[in-house]
Amino acid sequence: MNTTINEYNNNFISHIIDHDLKKQKKMFFHTRFPPEPNGYLHIGHAKSICLNFELAKIYQGKCNLRFDDTNPIKENIKYINAIKYDITWLGYQKYQNIHYASEYFEIFYQYAKKLIKKGLAYVDELTKEEIHKYRGTLKKPGINSPYRNRSIEENITLFKKMKNGEFAEGKASLRAKINMNSACIIMRDPVLYRIIFCQHHQTKKKWCIYPMYDFAHCISDAIEKITHSLCTLEFQDNKNLYNWILKNINTPHRPKQYEFSRLNLEYSILSKRKLKILVEKKIVSGWDDPRMPTLSGMRRRGYTPSSIKEFCKNIGITKQNNLIELSMLEYSIRNELNKTAIRTMAILDPIKIYLYNLNENHEEVLIIPKHPYNDKLGTQKIFFTKILYIERNDFQEKYNNQYKKLKIGCEIRLRYAYIIKAEKIKKDKNENIIYIICSCNLKTLGKKPIDKKNPSVIHWISVKYSFPAQFRLYEPLFNIKSLDKKEDFLLNLNSQSLVTKKGFIEKNIAKKIHKKIIQNNIKLFFQFERIGYFCTDIDTLQRNYLIFNRTVSLRDTWNEKNKKIINN
């Protein structure tokens, strides 16, 4: 066993496992991750994936990936492929055995018959709405269905008829016969099977009756010899049914269910059903829109498997439901990219400066580091010429004393280059700035500005050596923190969640990036100095300019901005 203490081997679940393994020395530890293939995986699923697969690693066991494919109406093979891809991307391929609940449809059917034969299940002909009404509430006991006391023989015959397609959809269901007065509503004769006439992606047209999640899940766990079946807290009540079914069908193996709190993340929706609405209503460009909390969206945004795993580890495993700060997620990728991303300059909102005291053909090559603290990343070449682009908001025509960037009559330092002084502004007849006329002090390469009061450094790009780029800046999709229980979440959309900017990056660097993207279809990561961490976007392949997604800002600006809004 792994001896280093971390979040995965020092939480309430690992303590239960340690205890179980002490008691049963021969136990082969086995978990599973059971997604329903009705959408793409999101960061909440990643919490569960990491927990299940990391525990399998620590306890030298296994974790199955099991598709809970019991509702063909909502499922699709494209979701199955996307889920497999995401889990492999996270790096858990090695620990995964792939199963489908649909592999066990025949076994489920036999176990259902076993329950009928024990007088513990019956075919009901109430409608879905009637079943719901008869179930009662927490304050009101349920009412027995008029079909509850059918004989075992009659139930066997009717269940066969259900299986043979002799009932129309919705006209019959199989229910467990437990207790309509149970304090636990789930135990009030839950439905075990329903009729669905729909082709299944795995079993095709073989079945028209499909088991409910609660029936299929516990039996699948038992068949696969899962030892610890880990799920989120909302399944706490379902545990009664889980244990009731396994006890009454008497499986040789008895898995145990344990619950932990689900991930809720600020400004985010973590529900496949709701995320699907965003896709269908075209509020986002797809499941992989970089604003989506899906693993495919986060991958496109620039999150790496290691940053997601680090986040999942840091949030910990407990039974307390809480709302995790978005800044914690952002920290995980910022911290990583700070060490690994190549630094370079980009201009998102350009304005020109004209260095009047340089020759028309002035051209200088500057060799600059790709990372100030990581020499191993090497150096890069940039060109310094007479006309440069700087960021529009790095110059102000009218300013107050606090303004520390470029202003008329003041000096500023150009990153990796010279000190310049703004002298005049050249405007067109509409009063738009064409360029800022500056002088350049060629004796100042690598020196500090003379004006100690204004030590600012700004970034720049040679106009002659610029290459067009689009920068996609993201903010959260929603403008309220807690969306967990909100059904009207579409009322809280953040209109600024995507802002695109047209700007430039250095031509030689751009060419290299372009070549790498086209030849190897890889994603490249950058810190654009003073702006943020960015990665290349797949859309670049179809354009003659580069497209970058802002993964995360340099600092926690979203939180700072919101604090300001709240304080004002």
The residue from 87, 123, 192, 231 that contacts ligand ATP (CB under 6 A) is 231
- How far is residue 495 from each of residues 477, 492, 499, 562, measured CA to CA in Å? 8, 9, 9, 15
The C-alpha atoms of residue 350 and residue 389 are separated, in whole angstroms, by 6
Cβ-contact 182, 137 below 8 angstroms: no
Look at residue 341 and give the partner it binds from ligand ATP, Mg ion, none, a contact being a CB closer than 5 to 8 Å depending on partner kind: none
Concerning whether 262 is annotated as a catalytic residue, the answer is yes
The C-alpha atoms of residue 62 and residue 95 are separated, in whole angstroms, by 6
Does 259 help bind ligand ATP (rule: CB under 6 A)? no
x-or-dash string of contact with ligand ATP, 57-96, rule CB under 6 A: -----------x----------------------------
Please count the residues of this chain forming the interface with ligand ATP, following the rule CB under 6 A.
16
Name the residue type at position 339: K
Nearer to ligand ATP, 139 or 485 (CB): 485
x-or-dash string of contact with Mg ion, 367-406, rule CB under 5 A: ----------------------------------------
- Helical spans, DSSP H, in 353-459: none
Q: Minimum distance between the CB of residue 551 and Mg ion, rounded to whole angstroms?
A: 29
Instruction: Tell me how crowded residue 435 is: count the other CB atoms within 10 A of its CB.
Output: 19
Q: Which stretch binds ligand ATP (CB under 6 A): 2-10, 33-41, 203-211, 285-293?
A: 33-41
The residue from 11, 17, 30, 45 that contacts ligand ATP (CB under 6 A) is 45
The residue from 8, 14, 17, 47 that contacts ligand ATP (CB under 6 A) is 47
Does 255 help bind ligand ATP (rule: CB under 6 A)? no
Which listed residue (66, 239, 272, 301) is catalytic? Answer: 272
Nearer to Mg ion, 191 or 437 (CB): 191
Q: Minimum distance between the CB of residue 233 and ligand ATP, rounded to whole angstroms?
A: 9
Q: Can you say how many angstroms the Cα of residue 223 is from the centroid of all Cα atoms in its chain?
A: 31
Q: Minimum distance between the CB of residue 362 and ligand ATP, rounded to whole angstroms?
A: 57
Nearer to ligand ATP, 69 or 529 (CB): 69
- How far is residue 103 from each of residues 32, 39, 100, 221, measured CA to CA in Å? 15, 21, 5, 13
Locate 179 and state its tokens: 């207790």
Does 263 help bind ligand ATP (rule: CB under 6 A)? yes
The residue from 236, 248, 271, 285 that contacts ligand ATP (CB under 6 A) is 271
The C-alpha atoms of residue 399 and residue 395 are separated, in whole angstroms, by 9
Q: How are beta strands 498-506 and 525-528 bridged, if at all?
A: unpaired
The residue from 8, 13, 44, 224 that contacts ligand ATP (CB under 6 A) is 44
The length of the chain, given as a count of residues: 568
Nearer to Mg ion, 47 or 413 (CB): 47
Q: Which stretch binds Mg ion (CB under 5 A): 35-43, 143-151, 295-303, 454-462?
A: 35-43
Which listed residue (135, 262, 523, 530) is catalytic? Answer: 262
Rg of the chain over all Cα atoms, to the nearest angstrom: 31
Cβ-contact 343, 372 below 8 angstroms: yes
Q: Which stretch binds ligand ATP (CB under 6 A): 262-270, 280-288, 338-346, 536-544?
A: 262-270
Q: Minimum distance between the CB of residue 163 and ligand ATP, rounded to whole angstroms?
A: 26
Does 48 help bind ligand ATP (rule: CB under 6 A)? yes
Does 333 help bind ligand ATP (rule: CB under 6 A)? no
Does 236 help bind ligand ATP (rule: CB under 6 A)? no
- String of DSSP letters for 265-302: ETT----HHHHHHHHHTTSSSSTT-TTSSBHHHHHHHT
Q: Which stretch binds Mg ion (CB under 5 A): 34-42, 57-65, 230-238, 285-293?
A: 34-42
Nearer to ligand ATP, 398 or 485 (CB): 485
Q: Strand, coil or helix: what is 391?
A: strand
Q: What is the largest CA-CA distance in the chain?
A: 102
Does 334 help bind ligand ATP (rule: CB under 6 A)? no
Concerning whether 272 is annotated as a catalytic residue, the answer is yes
Residue 479: which of 309, 266, 311 has the closest Cα?
266
- How far is residue 490 from each of residues 57, 266, 272, 475, measured CA to CA in Å? 40, 16, 15, 16
Q: Which stretch binds ligand ATP (CB under 6 A): 34-42, 199-207, 286-294, 510-518?
A: 34-42
Look at residue 327 and give the partner it binds from ligand ATP, Mg ion, none, a contact being a CB closer than 5 to 8 Å depending on partner kind: none
Concerning whether 177 is annotated as a catalytic residue, the answer is no
Q: Which stretch binds ligand ATP (CB under 6 A): 41-49, 128-136, 299-307, 534-542?
A: 41-49
Name the residue type at position 87: I
Cβ-contact 531, 350 below 8 angstroms: no
Dihedrals phi, psi of 9, to nearest 5 degrees: -110, 20
Q: Can you say how many angstroms the Cα of residue 378 is from the centroid of all Cα atoms in its chain?
A: 33
Cβ-contact 315, 47 below 8 angstroms: yes
The C-alpha atoms of residue 284 and residue 291 are separated, in whole angstroms, by 8
Strand partners, 367: 381
Look at residue 492 and give the partner it binds from ligand ATP, Mg ion, none, a contact being a CB closer than 5 to 8 Å depending on partner kind: none
Instruction: Tell me how crowded residue 205 is: count the other CB atoms within 10 A of its CB.
Output: 10
Look at residue 35 and give the partner it binds from ligand ATP, Mg ion, none, a contact being a CB closer than 5 to 8 Å depending on partner kind: ligand ATP
Angle of helix 152-163 relative to helix 105-117, nearest 10 degrees?
Answer: 160
Does 34 help bind ligand ATP (rule: CB under 6 A)? yes
Which spans of this chain sit near ligand ATP (rule: CB under 6 A)? 34-36, 44-45, 47-48, 68, 231-232, 262-263, 270-273
Which spans of this chain sit near Mg ion (rule: CB under 5 A)? 36
Active site residues: 36, 262, 272
